[in-house]
Chain A
Amino acid sequence: MAVALFSGGSYNFSNSFNNLSNVSEKSTGPGSINQTTQVLGAQIDPLTNLLTQLISQVPTSIWIILSLEFVAFIILAIIISLINSSWSLGSLIQAIQTALDDKPPTIRDSSEKAFSTLKPLIWLQTIPMLIYLLAVFLAIFVLIGIYTAGGESTKVIIAILGVILGLVFIYGLIILSFTQIWATRVAILDKKSGRASLGAGYRLVKKKFWSMFLLGIVNTIMTLFIIAIPIGIIFGLLWAAFSLIKPDAILGAGLMVVRFILVIVFIFGLYLLSGLLTAFKASVWTIAFHKIKDKYGL
C-alpha cells in the first residue's frame, strides 16, 4: 500500500497554500484553508490480491489433498531422517569398535552390522524423548490448570512447585541424554533391544554420573581446541584474501581465483572437521563405555 510520501509532494502542497495566501492577504476577513493531506491514496497490494484470489479460486478438495500430502511428506522425511541418523551412528560406532579390535574398519562391514541395530536405535532416538516430553507437557498443563483455577495461596505453592519441577526436568534431560549415550552403545555393541539398552544405559549413568559429566566437559573443551586451530588458520587466510589484499586491475582476476579456492578450502575444511569431530567424540565415548563396562563387569 502506498502511504505517506513527501518526496515530490511539496510542490503541490506549497503551491496550493501560496495561492491561498495570496487570496488571504487581499482579504480583510477571515481566510480559508484549502485543506490538504500529503498522504498518498491507497493502492491494491498485489501480493495480498494474489493470495486472496488463490485461496478463493482453488477448490477446497485440492487444499485438503495438499494438506494430506504435506503430512505424508513430513512423515516420510522423519522416517528417512531417523534411518539416516541411526544407520550412520550405528556404522560409526561399529567402525570404531572394529578399529579398537585392531582390525581395519570398512564401510561394508560396519554398515552390515549397523543394519541389525536400526530398530533399537530408532526406538532409542524417538520413544524415550517422546515419553519424556509428553510427561513434561502434561505436568505443565496440570500446573497451569491448577494455577488459573486456584486461589492466591495455591498460586504461590504452584509457582514454587513449578520452579522445582523445572529443575527436575532439566536434571531429567541431562540424565536422559547421558543414558542415551550408553544405551546407543549397548544396543550396537551388545545387540540388545531398545528397552533393554535404555535400562542398561541408565544403570551405567547412575554409577558414573559425575565421571560422565566431567568427560562431557573435557570432550567439549577438546572439541573446541581441535576445532579452533584449523578454523583459525582457514579464517586467517580468508580474512587476508578478502580484507588485506586490495584487488587492482592487474591482480583482480588472479585474486578472485585465490579467493574462490580459499572459500572452497574453507567449505571442504569445515566438512572434514565436522566429520573428524563426530568420529573423535564417538570414539571417546566408546572407549569410556568399554572402560566403565569392564570396571563394573556389566
Chain B
Amino acid sequence: MGSKNAGFLVRFIAFWLDALILLLPHAIAWSYLAGSSNLASFGQGIIFYITLLALPMMFFSSLFYYAWMTNHLGGTPGKLLTGLEIKNEDGNRLSYKRSFFRHTTGYAFSGVFFWLGFFSIIKDSEKLSWHDKAVGSKVVVNKSLWPVGLIFLFILLVVNWSLIVNSVNKFLAGPLKQEFANITVPLLIPKTPKLSTDTTQPQSSLNFQEDYQEISNLMNQANYGTAEDKANTLLISAQSDYEKALSYEIKGEIFYQLKKDNAAKTQMQTAIELYPLAAAYQILTQIELNNRNYGKAIEYAQKAVELSPDTAIHHNNLGVSLYNLGRFDEAVVEMKKAVDLDPESKLYQDNLNTMQSNI
C-alpha cells in the first residue's frame, strides 16, 4: 500500500515490452510468409496467418493478455517484468470489466488527442494517465525492476527487428516481389502487340480490298467514327457472302475496340453465319473471356483453331480459356503450340510460364 506511483519512463518501458511481446509471433509468421516460393503459396499463407494467428491474437490480447492478466496477476507481463502493478484506488486488483475497459476504451481515450492522455503522466501530480483517471486505477512500483525490463525490451527489440528485416530481405530477394509487381503494376501487357493473321484467303475484289485497308488505316489512327461509316459503306458494296462477312467482322472489331462488347458480338455472329472467319471467332473468344464465360470462350477458340490451326494467337486464347476453367494440362499443351508457332512472342511465353509455375 505504501508503494509509490510509477512514472512515465518505467511505464513507457512496460508499454513497449507488452507491444513487442505481442508482436513477436507476428514477426515470426511474417518471416515465414516472406519466404514463400510464389504468390499463390504466399496468399495461402496469409489466409492461414489471419485465421490461426492474427485474429486469435487480437482476441487473446484484448480478452486475456490485458484484461484477464491485469485482473488475476495485477498486470500484463510487460508491467510485471518492470516490477509494476495495476491497482484500483483502494489498493486492490482491478475487476475484469474494469481491466477490459482500461485497455480498450481507456487506451483509446488517452490516445485520441495525440496521445496526450499517456503523456499526461509526466505532468500529473499523482502520475496518472487519462485512462487511469477514467477507470479509477493507478500503476504502482512493487519492485524497482526497470533495468530488467530495459534488458528484456532490448532483447525483444533486437529479435523483432531482426525478424522483420529478415522478412523484408527475403521478400526483396525472392520471387514474391516480382509476382507482386505483376499484379499491382499492369506491366504484363506487352509493348509490341502481336497481330493475328488468318491464313484462309478466299477471294474478294480489288476495290473491296482497298476499302478494307482504308478502314484498317482509320482504325490504326483510332478514328473509329469514320471507320464505322466506311465499314457501313463497305457492307453495302460487298458482293459475296465472304465480303459481307469481312465487313461485319471489321465493323465488329471497331465495336470491340470501342468496348461495345454486345454490338461487337452481334456483328461477329452475323459474320460467322455468312462465312466462318477465324478472326471473328477470335474476337468472340476474347469477349467471352472478358465476361468470364470460359466454357463459351473454349468453344469459340476451338473453332478459331480449327479454321486456322497455324495461328499462334488462337492456341493462346484456347490455352487461357482452358486454364481459367481449371483444365490445366490441356491449357499447357495449347500454350506450348502457341509458343512453338510464335517463339518470339513475350505474351505467349509469359502465359506459359505463369501456367507452369502455378500448376
- A: which residues have CB within 8 A of B? 1-10, 12-14, 16-17, 20-21, 24-25, 27, 29-44, 46-50, 52-54, 56-58, 62, 65-66, 69-70, 72-73, 76, 80, 83-84, 87-88, 91, 106-108, 111-112, 268, 271, 275
Contact = CB atoms under 8 A, between A and B. Distances in A.
Main secondary structure on chain A at its contact with chain B? Answer: helix
Given A32-B204, A46-B182, A53-B40, A39 B196 contact: yes
Contact of B105 (A5, A17, A84): A84
B205 A31 contact: yes
B3 interface: no
Given A8-B193, A17-B213, A46-B188, A37 B283 contact: yes
Interface in B12-69: 39-40, 43-44, 47-48, 50-52, 55-56, 58-59, 62
Contacts of B133: 106-108, 111
A35 B249 contact: yes
A271 B219 contact: no
A13 B47 contact: no
Contacts of A56: 326
A10 B195 CA distance: 9
Contacts of A91: 134
A198 B185 CA distance: 56
A42 B285 contact: yes
A44 B318 CA distance: 11
Contact of B47 (A34, A66, A112, A275): A66
Nearest to B105: A84
Question: In this complex, which of A14, A17, A271 has the most chain B Cβ atoms within 10 angstroms of its Cβ?
Answer: A17
B267 interface: no
Contacts of A111: 133-136
Contacts of B283: 37, 39
B289 interface: yes
Interface in B223-243: none
A43 B279 CA distance: 17
Nearest 9 CB-CB pairs, A to B? Answer: A107-B133, A10-B220, A32-B201, A41-B313, A42-B320, A111-B134, A35-B198, A30-B203, A37-B279
Contacts, number: 230
Interface residues of B, number: 90
Interface stretch (B78-86, B160-168, B347-355): B347-355
A5 B323 CA distance: 23
B40 A107 contact: no
B130 A107 contact: yes
A146 B102 CA distance: 52
A276 B108 CA distance: 19
B270 interface: no
Contacts of B202: 32-33
Contacts of A5: 189, 193
Contact of B209 (A21, A36, A70, A106): A21
B317 A9 contact: no
A30 to B, nearest CB: 4
A112 B48 CA distance: 42
B125 interface: no
Nearest to B40: A53
Contacts of B192: 8
Which of B220, B283, B312 has the largest count of A CB atoms less than 10 A from its CB? B220
Given A36-B197, A50-B39, 13 more contacts: A1-B286, A1-B290, A9-B220, A13-B195, A31-B206, A36-B279, A53-B358, A54-B47, A69-B59, A73-B55, A88-B105, A106-B133, A111-B133
